[in-house]
Chains A and B, each alone.
Chain A
Amino acid sequence: MYTKPRLQGRPIWHVPDEEIYSKGHLACPGCGVAISARLALKILGRKTILVVPACCFAVIDGPFPHSAAGVPLLHCAFETAAATASGVRAGLASRGDTDTRVVAWAGDGGTYDIGFQALSAAAERNEDILYVCYDNEAYMNTGIQRSGATPFSAWTTTTPAYPGKLEHKKDLGAIMIAHRIPYFATACVSYVDDFLGKFRKAREIRGFRFIHLLSSCSPGWKISEADSIESGFLAVRSRVFPLMEVEDGGSTRRITVNPAPVPVRRYLERQGRFKHLKDGDIDAIQQHVDRRWAELASRFDLPKPAPSHAAPAAARGAFPGADGLARLLQAHAATLSEREREFIRELLSSMWNNPAYASQSDQDLVGLAITLSQLAGSF
């Protein structure tokens, strides 16, 4: 077991030790939403109420009289997460409670499709709620049917392969950003540091906040349970799922993690739901992803290396290559598997020039990356 390093300075994305979301939930092994809930609740804390519509998470939490959430959880009708959460907020306010966090936690079907009207309205009213959409890109609870979030060409039971789904995924991010809400972000547990930071930020902002999580699903994506975190890395690196953040109704727009890109083929080929794709299809998807990225990069700030004045002591240079990394990990070599080393490399690359860590020593940063990767991978 690796023990959590004591970090010098104050890491802003400090991870609380307290486990709120309990073991014994009913998710499939490797389920992205279970990991997401565990990590998100660490940041949101016990003074949180979850509002959950019909979706896998409603089942995962447990049947009566069990509940894994560790915070009050209100099950609501499939299409009503945003409206019900608005009511919970108003009800609490009528009791004088304005600081309990009200979090709608819904799947992509409940968000992109059936719950979209209520979502848009709650965003327009700027309700003081955090809406989290965990996007596993299909209706999983009912057995993997197509949703508005299912990507082009993916197999589902209602878009049989070949050719899979004929339409592209709805660009929900653009739609939510167009509502000019106080906070919008995309996140994925694979980039756990980025994930936690966004939840921490969302926690402190008042008004309507929306976090779009890419959430792996082994039966739905036809991936190995052990590939959950890896698929998230590849989604981000291939730019299929860019990690971004928009604040103050659009006044700041940034890509928060921008690792060295890999071809989209690497993301697709690990997932059974894309295994029917032909080379031409993959090329078409690559072009689509490139086009979207170019659009995004023209409108969003890309992460900059730490400005030198913020980090007089430890301005880091380029991310170390294989040898440099081996040296950094040397002290922990005995406890790390090949897989873990790969995760840590990926995480470190996203943290390396993040100004938040400018004051940490390289070794501290490595320690933090190890802790984070174990947090993400150990559930």
Chain B
Amino acid sequence: MPRRELLTGNEAVAQAVALANAQVIGIYPITPQTTIIEKICDLAAKGAFHPRIIHVESEHSAMAAVIGAAFTGARTFTATSSQGLALMHELLHWAGGGRLPIVLANVNRAMAPGWSIWTDQNDSLSQRDTGWMQFYCESAQEVLDTTLLAFRVSERVMVPSMVVLDAFVLSHTSEPTEVPDADTVAQFLPKYEAPYRLDVEKPCSFGALLRPPFYQEVRAKLQEAMEGALKEIDEADQLWRKLTGRGWGIVSGYRHEDADILFVTSATTASTARVVIDRLRVEGIKIGGLKVRVFRPFPFEELRRALAGRRLAIIFDRNLSYGHHGIFAQEIKSALYGWRGAPPVSCYVGGLGGRDVTPESIEGMVRRSLGERNGELFSWVR
């Protein structure tokens, strides 16, 4: 029987990792991720699962250690935030390029300087091109379910996964969360059998020099796997819906069917946006919401379908590529380019370093977009 518990986003990650029976976990503290590894140690100490926990001296070594373990065919996990994720950068490529099904939880935290422990997405989005899938979550339940899904999909396509959650707003707030039972998880997430691993019976090298005739071919296979992952994510989502009644989609809409205008965003901002959408609907504004949950692989088709024939898309980014603009906005526009059904797009950037994104600020974006638009690349939400 599933049980209902009051869990923070971080506790939901830890519960999922225990349910997945992760075998090797590299741990290193950083706010606001730390409570994930604390909870994991607690669950392991209480015998909820029996991982080998490696108490490394840095996030860099945490990722190196789980890479080593993943090469032996073990199910592996680690968690981090901002500075820690940036420190891992070289090894994120190693995990992606090495086709290792590692799952990492990243609690979004703004990058220093100056020091910030509050949320924005520049840390995870800076790792966009490392060959990792990325899932942006909105609730503790979604975090728990997505972490399990990440293991399943990663192990089927041999591409690592990053489960991303907002600092504090999600990592440290509690919500009633359904924790599935072991049988349900077993039907969803079978025991992991690595297709290749370090094996003294079959000695070979992993990661050796790849000369130009080979390198690109190997990377083309990674791209192929990423493209195929969307189907796997969808299938996993359907199966989970069958088993638990819950599914989260690849993108998900809110009051979108008849909407002229879509407010597009990701992660916890999507919850706030729903409140605003309800308010504006009362006024007769035909607005709906669209949440982008899967960022890598990028859901071109799903986005096109969702945005087809709308009068306006308003895209809000809690991140910024300096010298350009919001990263989700750039990517969504790339999906719309040259495509006939493409709506006009109005882009906003705000909420950096944990600045609150309030219903009022979202409403302000909508009203501004409905008025005279001056053709600028994006506007700040102050």
Interface residues of A (CB under 8 A from B): 46-49, 51, 58-59, 61-67, 69-77, 79-80, 82-95, 100, 117-118, 120-121, 124-125
Given A72-B200, A95-B74, A117-B57; A84-B211 close (CB under 8 Å) = no
The interface bits of chain B over 40-60 (1 if a CB of A lies within 8 angstroms of the residue's CB, else 0) are 000000000001101111101
Q: Does A76 lie within 8 Å of B67, measured CB to CB? A: yes
Which of B69, B200, B211, B214 is in CB contact (< 8 Å) with A90?
A: B69
Q: Does A91 lie within 8 Å of B23, measured CB to CB? A: yes
In the assembled complex, the Cα of A63 lies from the Cα of B212 at a distance in Å of 11
Given A83-B64, A88-B198, A100-B200; A61-B205 close (CB under 8 Å) = yes
Q: Does B68 lie within 8 Å of A94, measured CB to CB? A: no
Report 13 cross-chain contacts, Cβ distance below 8 Å, ordered by A residue.
Answer: A51-B68, A64-B208, A72-B199, A72-B202, A79-B60, A80-B60, A87-B68, A94-B51, A95-B72, A118-B56, A118-B60, A118-B61, A125-B55
Is the C-beta of B288 less than 8 angstroms from some C-beta in chain A?
no
Q: Does B26 lie within 8 Å of A87, measured CB to CB? A: yes
Given A72-B203, A76-B64, A121-B56; A91-B24 close (CB under 8 Å) = yes
Given A48-B200, A49-B198, A77-B90; A91-B208 close (CB under 8 Å) = no
Which of A64, A90, A95 is in CB contact (< 8 Å) with B209?
A: A64
Given A46-B203, A76-B207, A94-B24; A121-B70 close (CB under 8 Å) = no
Is the C-beta of B94 less than 8 angstroms from some C-beta in chain A?
yes
Write the chain B residue with the least CB distance to A102. Answer: B68
Q: Does B198 lie within 8 Å of A94, measured CB to CB? A: no
Q: Does A90 lie within 8 Å of B65, measured CB to CB? A: yes
Write the chain A residue with the least CB distance to B215. Answer: A64
Given A80-B61, A85-B68, A117-B57; A91-B203 close (CB under 8 Å) = no
The interface bits of chain B over 61-83 (1 if a CB of A lies within 8 angstroms of the residue's CB, else 0) are 11011111111111010000000
In the assembled complex, the Cα of A124 lies from the Cα of B58 at a distance in Å of 14
In the assembled complex, the Cα of A95 lies from the Cα of B194 at a distance in Å of 12
Q: Does B94 lie within 8 Å of A77, measured CB to CB? A: yes
In the assembled complex, the Cα of A58 lies from the Cα of B209 at a distance in Å of 8
Q: Does B198 lie within 8 Å of A74, measured CB to CB? A: yes
Interface residues of B (CB under 8 A from A): 23-24, 26, 51-52, 54-58, 60-62, 64-74, 76, 90-91, 94, 198-200, 202-211, 214
Least CB distance from B151 to A in Å reads: 15
Q: Does B65 lie within 8 Å of A83, measured CB to CB? A: yes
Q: Does B200 lie within 8 Å of A84, measured CB to CB? A: no
Contacts of A92 in B (CB 8 A): 72
Known: A64-B208, A79-B60. 14 other contacts (CB 8 A): A63-B211, A64-B210, A72-B202, A73-B206, A75-B205, A76-B207, A77-B91, A87-B26, A87-B72, A91-B52, A91-B74, A94-B51, A118-B61, A124-B57
In the assembled complex, the Cα of A84 lies from the Cα of B198 at a distance in Å of 13
In the assembled complex, the Cα of A51 lies from the Cα of B207 at a distance in Å of 11
Q: Does B24 lie within 8 Å of A90, measured CB to CB? A: yes
Given A64-B208, A92-B72; A87-B65 close (CB under 8 Å) = yes
Contacts of A117 in B (CB 8 A): 57-58, 61
Write the chain B residue with the least CB distance to A127. Answer: B54
Least CB distance from A101 to B in Å reads: 9
Q: Does A75 lie within 8 Å of B72, measured CB to CB? A: no
Contacts of B204 in A (CB 8 A): 67, 72-73
Q: Does A91 lie within 8 Å of B64, measured CB to CB? A: no
Least CB distance from A147 to B in Å reads: 20
Q: Which of B68, B70, B202, B214 has the most A CB atoms < 10 Å from its CB?
A: B68
Contacts of A49 in B (CB 8 A): 198, 200
Least CB distance from A43 to B in Å reads: 16
Given A46-B200, A84-B68, A90-B24; A75-B208 close (CB under 8 Å) = yes
Contacts of B23 in A (CB 8 A): 91, 94
Q: Does B65 lie within 8 Å of A69, measured CB to CB? A: no
Contacts of A121 in B (CB 8 A): 56-58, 61
Write the chain A residue with the least CB distance to B66. Answer: A87
Least CB distance from A148 to B in Å reads: 19
Given A47-B200, A88-B72; A74-B205 close (CB under 8 Å) = yes
Write the chain B residue with the least CB distance to A46. Answer: B200
Contacts of B74 in A (CB 8 A): 90-91, 94-95
Contacts of A64 in B (CB 8 A): 205, 208-211, 214
Contacts of A124 in B (CB 8 A): 57
Write the chain A residue with the least CB distance to B25. Answer: A90
Contacts of B55 in A (CB 8 A): 125
In the assembled complex, the Cα of A80 lies from the Cα of B26 at a distance in Å of 14
Contacts of A72 in B (CB 8 A): 198-200, 202-206
Write the chain A residue with the least CB distance to B200. Answer: A47
Contacts of A77 in B (CB 8 A): 64, 90-91, 94
Given A91-B73, A92-B72; A73-B54 close (CB under 8 Å) = no
Which of A67, A76, A79, A85 is in CB contact (< 8 Å) with B203?
A: A67
Least CB distance from B258 to A in Å reads: 52
Least CB distance from B342 to A in Å reads: 42
Q: Which of A51, A69, A74, A117 has the most B CB atoms < 10 Å from its CB?
A: A74
Least CB distance from A79 to B in Å reads: 7
In the assembled complex, the Cα of A83 lies from the Cα of B207 at a distance in Å of 16
Contacts of B91 in A (CB 8 A): 77, 80
In the assembled complex, the Cα of A94 lies from the Cα of B25 at a distance in Å of 11
Q: Does A87 lie within 8 Å of B54, measured CB to CB? A: yes
Contacts of A82 in B (CB 8 A): 61
In the assembled complex, the Cα of A248 lies from the Cα of B198 at a distance in Å of 30
Q: Does B200 lie within 8 Å of A71, measured CB to CB? A: yes
In the assembled complex, the Cα of A72 lies from the Cα of B208 at a distance in Å of 12
In the assembled complex, the Cα of A120 lies from the Cα of B72 at a distance in Å of 23
Contacts of B210 in A (CB 8 A): 63-64
In the assembled complex, the Cα of A159 lies from the Cα of B23 at a distance in Å of 47
Contacts of A89 in B (CB 8 A): 68
Least CB distance from B345 to A in Å reads: 40
Q: Does B60 lie within 8 Å of A74, measured CB to CB? A: no
Least CB distance from A93 to B in Å reads: 6
Write the chain B residue with the least CB distance to A63. Answer: B209
Least CB distance from B272 to A in Å reads: 40
In the assembled complex, the Cα of A92 lies from the Cα of B202 at a distance in Å of 15
Contacts of B90 in A (CB 8 A): 77
Which of A67, A83, A120 is in CB contact (< 8 Å) with B68?
A: A83
Contacts of A120 in B (CB 8 A): 57
Q: Which of A61, A67, A80 has the most B CB atoms < 10 Å from its CB?
A: A80
